[in-house]
Structure 1
Amino acid sequence: MSYSEEDRVKKQAFLYLARRSFFTEELSLKLAQKGFSKEVIDKVLDLCIKQGFLDDQKLTQQLVERARDRGFGSKAIWFKLCCRVGINSSVLQQVILETEKNQWVSLQKLIQKKSHQIQLLDPKQKNRWIAKMLRRGYGYEEIIRCLEEV
């Protein structure tokens, strides 16, 4: 039994999507590497979008939330995700702004979690901790304001 190219592209796309979520552009590149034609790939991608298997906005939201849960700030999330294939920078910026209020909460949780280990009265340790939070993408003013509240 001979399958059409569209059936083979669908099968390959569903195999990829069964393993993990992809951005539309990312999946398009993977299918193109397999040697499928651009027209058939676009047709299958449209089908996947209509059926809800591909949703770039939702995937961007998940990646930003996962990074926030790991304790990263807006700047670190931006630099980490802006270079990834398939992420639209305007969508990423919008999602980061929508979750901006969660940044303050995650910073407070980090400070409360580590407060027994941090001796904030010692300037050297305080500066080390501030530098660590800056590397995680939080703003200096946010860190200082949050430390003052604790």
Structure 2
Amino acid sequence: MDEREQQKQKNYVLWLLGRQEYSRRDLQRKLQQRQVPEEFATKLLDWCEQQGFLDDNRYCTSFIRRAIDKRHGPRRICADAQQKGLDKDQVAGALAEMDIDWFELALEAYQRKFKALGKQLDYKEKAKRIRYLTARGFDYQQIEFALASEATDE
């Protein structure tokens, strides 16, 4: 790989990082798709980390904040983060630092989705709402809290 091509790939990575945060694994995947030699890709990503352009801890925090804004629960956040190449312990530590009330977040997600619908819950409708919150990554206690809060609002 000649110097001009190396500069081109460096500019590409900087352009990507200028637009949004990426994990090291995501950038490595993007460079592989462009068929950049692995040795050069590793050097380039190391350089980005040294310069502070690439930081998995910072990415992890911003990833979690975006997921919370989307009203995702802890299970969904952990699963999505692992797909992005983040370390399980790193995600768990960041979640613990943020001090999030998952019960309130489950209630908020529930109310946002089902506010306009009636409060009468037959078995089928209740199962649908439970599946929705489960898919968003909440555990059963958090889901029960959201359903119970809806019942007491009557």
- Please say if 1:14 is aligned against 2:1: no
What is the TM-score of this pair, normalised by structure 2? 0.72
Query: How do 1:125-136 residues align onto structure 2 when only pairs under 5 Å count?
Result: 125-136=125-136
Correspondence for 1:71: 71
Correspondence for 1:122: 121
Amino acid at match of 1:117: L
CA–CA distance in structure 2, aligned partners of residues 75 and 118 of structure 1: 28
In 2 relative to 1, CA 90–9 (structure 1 residues): closer, same or farther, beyond 3 Å? same
User: What is the Cα deviation at residue 32 of structure 1?
Assistant: 4.5
Query: Sequence identity, in percent?
Result: 23
User: What is the Cα deviation at residue 19 of structure 1?
Assistant: 3.9
- Please say if 1:23 is aligned against 2:23: yes
Q: Which runs of 5+ in 2 are unaligned?
A: none
Which string of whole-angstrom CA distances, capped at 9 and with x for unpartnered residues, describes residues 24-75 of structure 1? Answer: 2332343345454444433332321132211111112222221222122111
CA–CA distance in structure 2, aligned partners of residues 25 and 128 of structure 1: 36
SS in 1 for 2:138: coil
Q: CA RMSD for the aligned pairs?
A: 2.8
In 2 relative to 1, CA 144–25 (structure 1 residues): closer, same or farther, beyond 3 Å? closer
Amino acid at match of 1:25: R
In 2 relative to 1, CA 38–133 (structure 1 residues): closer, same or farther, beyond 3 Å? closer
User: What is the Cα deviation at residue 138 of structure 1?
Assistant: 0.9
Correspondence for 1:52: 52
Q: Which runs of 5+ in 1 are unaligned?
A: none
Amino acid at match of 2:148: E
The number of residue pairs the alignment matches comes to 147
Amino acid at match of 1:47: W
Which string of whole-angstrom CA distances, capped at 9 and with x for unpartnered residues, describes residues 5-31 of structure 1? Answer: 653442232133234332123323433
Correspondence for 2:139: 139
CA–CA distance in structure 2, aligned partners of residues 33 and 132 of structure 1: 35
Amino acid at match of 2:88: S
Contact 1:69 1:106 in 2 (8 A): no
User: What is the Cα deviation at residue 116 of structure 1?
Assistant: 5.0
